[in-house]
Amino acid sequence: MTGCHGPLFTNSSLRSTILYVRQYHDLLRHILDNGTRHEDRTGTGTISTFGYQTRFDLREGFPIVTTKRVPFRWVAEELFWFLSGSTDEADLRARGVDIWQEWATEEQTARFGRREGDLGPVYGYLWRSFGGEYPRRNGVDQIARLISEIEANPNSRRLIVTGWNPETCDEVALPPCHTLFQFKIENGRTLHCQLYQRSADAFLGVPFNISSYALLTHMIAHVCDLEVGEFIHTFGDLHIYSNHLEQVNELLGREPYPLPTLSIVNAENKKGLAGLLDFVFEDLRLDNYVHHGKIAAPVAV
């Protein structure tokens, strides 16, 4: 649903909308005001900063950008693909999502001796088979370990999943950008999540990343009988690509809409690891997502 008549604020939605939109828009302005120009791996060039943090209270609404369209189904299907352990781009395309195809071409995968579509040891493998010899399914299932630890020891300070393996990060066309996330359970009932992201494309990538980890926090809270708390997003290299500057300025000129709400429906019996891995898009309901139109921008490969 695309808005065209200015912000639709109500008293109940005003606070959450201001908190979220201010943070994402301020993040973009921070880069524009404080960043320095850098050359980068893709040859595109960036305006880059290092070290930044945002915080989103998931009880105040679901954090998804309203000043451009973010395809929520793509966010969810990509997350389900990660959780499945798959590293085959065809599996993601079968879900109707084509955002990884630039790194799955025959030209890209042949550099590492793999067939077209085989992305190598990326997120799914690292989350579900960390340290195992690719492509065999050995190693540590970090998602299973995370759920088990939440259930057995909710006070643990070891509720961590890492997506960075120095032994394999040079064996893929796109090493993991969102590299480590940690959960904390407050007072035995409230689940908080913090993500460390080593590299962040502020215009195209960050809106996806925010909504993806917010959704993951909702899903894990559901299967572990917890409530959602905060999502904290910590950045290393946070940048705007030089060929995204026009799009960023267009977005910053738009007025925001109130945040939607996320509900998990028809999934009362989805509990534990099996429940987490059984999620489908129809289990999710994003209500009142009003947004401006899409702003197209090229992907740096």
CA distances, 294 to each of 21, 65, 66 (Å):
17, 11, 10
Cβ atoms 113, 252 nearer than 8 A: no
DSSP state, 113? T
Beta strands in 58-177 (DSSP E): 160-162
Closest CA to 93 of 102, 84, 82, 101: 101
Distance between CA atoms of 164 and 127, rounded to whole angstroms? Answer: 10
Closest CA to 67 of 285, 262, 249, 299: 249
Distance between CA atoms of 106 and 37, rounded to whole angstroms? Answer: 32
Distance between CA atoms of 240 and 122, rounded to whole angstroms? Answer: 23
Beta-bridged to residue 118, according to DSSP, are: 88
CA distances, 216 to each of 40, 193, 210, 228, 269 (Å):
30, 9, 10, 10, 17
Known active-site residue 177: yes
For residue 121, say if its preceding peptide bond is cis, omega within 30 degrees of 0: no
Catalytic annotation, pick one of 169, 177, 193, 224 = 177
Catalytic residues: 177
